[in-house]
Structure 1
Amino acid sequence: MSGTVVAVCRSATHTFSKPTRDRIRLVAGVGVEGDAHAGTTVKHRSRVARDPSQPNLRQVHLIHAELHDELRDAGYDVEPGDLGENVTTRGIDLLGLPTGTLLHLGDSAVVEVTGLRNPCTQINDFAPGLLNQVLLRGEDGRIIRKAGIMGVVRTGGEVRPGDPIKVELPPEPHRPLDRV
């Protein structure tokens, strides 16, 4: 299984959207160099308020460009970085990956998938009604989170648009993604 990096983004401040860049540097155990969410312990404000010593399982946020396509078809103007992701991908079913999957990005970077992004109401501040597009309830009553996945950097390196992504599944039995 393989795909492509469509865009890379980072923001030094806690903004909802992140500007696109020509490259980002991933740092092992830390995240995206220069990004407000980089660090070994949690950086998301609500999690810091609860327990600032928690490990940061959300160092890198990835969204599949196919979600942007779906949202545009539903009438929303969404581009890479708009939903706060660091890496926009194409060609990989990110939401279908098991926990512990390794994503090899570009020449050397490796991100381990830790779980699903749990979208919050800030998405509606970006575009009213958008939360209902990325946080749904299935026919069986279970919650479906479509706002991307989170990961930690295992091996650092530069990542650029156009870089290949190689998927390395963990040993079975696979554990489905849960929110982190």
Structure 2
Amino acid sequence: MAGRVVAVHTSAGHEFSKSARDAIMLREGLGVEGDAHFGATVQHRSRVAVDASQPNLRQVHLIHAELFDALREAGHVVAPGELGENITTRDVDLLALPVGARLRFGDAVVTVTGLRNPCQQINEFQPGLLKQLVTTDAEGHVIRLAGVMGIVSRTGAVAPGDTVEVELPPLPHFPLTRV
């Protein structure tokens, strides 16, 4: 499988949306240089409040651009970076990846740890958007569509237009859950 990077984003503060960049630097074991979530231990405020010593499994947030296409059809205009992702991709089925899948962006490698669990802030950004990003299937299982989270496994730069190569982990594969 191969896809491409549509856009990259960072924010030094804990704002909801992130600003577009020409390139971002991923640092092994730490995340996106210059981003508020950069660090080996948790940086998300709610998780820091519970236990600041937990490992940071949410160093990099990735969203598939196809989500924005679907949201537009549902009446929500959302641009890359506005949901707080660091990397926006196209032609990679991020939500179908198993835990431990590796995404290669040239030298940089991100290992997928789980699904983003969107919060109420999304409705403050656009009323009704949360219902589009968290749904249930016919059996009543919760479906999270707001992208995936990962850790940086190899340092390198990522820029729009870069190729995304997917490397699956050895079997058995485990489905993504929220992290």
Output the TM-score relative to the length of structure 1: 0.99
Partner of 1:125: 124
The structural deviation recorded for 1:77 is: 1.3
What are the Cα deviations for residues 58-102 of structure 1, in whole angstroms up to 9, with x where unaligned?
000000000011001111110000000000000011000000000
1:175 to 2:177 alignment: no
Helix, strand or coil for the counterpart of 1:35?
Answer: coil
What are the Cα deviations for residues 85-144 of structure 1, in whole angstroms up to 9, with x where unaligned?
000000011000000000001x20000000000010000011000000000111101000
Structural mapping, 1:139-158, within 5 Å: 139-158=138-157
Distance across 2 between alignment mates of 1:16 and 1:167 = 28
Residues paired across the two proteins, number? 179
1:82 to 2:82 alignment: yes
Q: Which runs of 4+ in 1 moved over 4 A?
A: none
Partner of 1:98: 98
Helix, strand or coil for the counterpart of 1:165?
Answer: strand
Runs (5+) with no aligned partner, structure 2: none
> Which one-letter code corresponds to 2:31 in the other structure?
G
> Which one-letter code corresponds to 2:159 in the other structure?
R
Distance across 1 between alignment mates of 2:38 and 2:3 = 24
Output the TM-score relative to the length of structure 2: 0.99
Distance across 2 between alignment mates of 1:17 and 1:125 = 12
Partner of 2:137: 138
Distance across 2 between alignment mates of 1:103 and 1:110 = 6
Helix, strand or coil for the counterpart of 2:123?
Answer: helix
> Which one-letter code corresponds to 2:11 in the other structure?
S
The structural deviation recorded for 1:145 is: 0.2
Partner of 2:6: 6
Partner of 2:158: 159
Distance across 2 between alignment mates of 1:92 and 1:165 = 8
Partner of 2:51: 51
Compute the RMSD of aligned alpha carbons.
0.4
Runs (5+) with no aligned partner, structure 1: none
Helix, strand or coil for the counterpart of 1:50?
Answer: helix
The structural deviation recorded for 1:51 is: 0.3
> Which one-letter code corresponds to 2:177 in the other structure?
D
Partner of 2:112: 113
